[in-house]
Amino acid sequence: MRSFNAFVEKWMALVTPFCLFMGVLFASQFSRILFLVPYIFAFMTFCGSLGSRFSDIRRVVQHPLPLFLSVLILHAVLPFLALGAGNLLFPQSPYIITGMVLEFVVPSAVVSTMWVSIYCGSAPFTLSLLLIDTLLAPFSVPFSLHLLVGSNVQVDTVGMMKELLLMVGIPALVGMTLNQLTGGTVKQTLSPRLAPFGKIALMLVVCANSSKVAPFIRNMTPRLFAVAGSILLLAVLGYALGWAFAAVLKLKREIVVSMTFGCGMRNISAGAVIAAAYFPAEVMFPVMIGTLFQQVLAACFAQLLIKRCGVQKEV
What gap in Å lies between CA 159 and CA 83, rounded to an integer?
23
Look at residue 186 and tell me if it is in a domain.
yes
What gap in Å lies between CA 35 and CA 57, rounded to an integer?
35
Could you tell me if 73 and 65 are in contact, meaning their C-beta atoms sit under 8 angstroms apart? Answer: no
Alpha-carbon 165 to chain mean position: 16
What gap in Å lies between CA 258 and CA 262, rounded to an integer?
6
pLDDT in tens, 105-131: 998 887 787 788 778 788 778 878 887
Q: Which domain holds residue 257?
A: 2-307
- Judged by average pLDDT, the poorest of 140-144, 241-245, 260-264 is 140-144
Look at residue 313 and tell me if it is in a domain.
no
At 312 the pLDDT is: 62
Query: Mean of the pLDDT values across residues 30-47?
Result: 84
Could you tell me if 50 and 183 are in contact, meaning their C-beta atoms sit under 8 angstroms apart? Answer: no
- Count of domains for the chain: 1
169 vs 43, more confident: 43
Report the predicted TM-score, pTM, of the whole model to 2 decimal places.
0.79
At 101 the pLDDT is: 94
Look at residue 315 and tell me if it is in a domain.
no
Per DSSP, the three-state class of 305 is: helix
Could you tell me if 95 and 280 are in contact, meaning their C-beta atoms sit under 8 angstroms apart? Answer: yes
Q: What are phi and psi of 266, to 5 degrees?
A: -120, 155
Look at residue 28 and tell me if it is in a domain.
yes
Look at residue 211 and tell me if it is in a domain.
yes
pLDDT in tens, 42-60: 887 788 777 777 776 677 7
Query: Mean of the pLDDT values across residues 94-110?
Result: 90
At 315 the pLDDT is: 45
At 311 the pLDDT is: 66
- Residue 156's domain is classified under what CATH number? 1.20.1530.20
Percentage of the residues of the chain whose pLDDT score is greater than 70 = 95
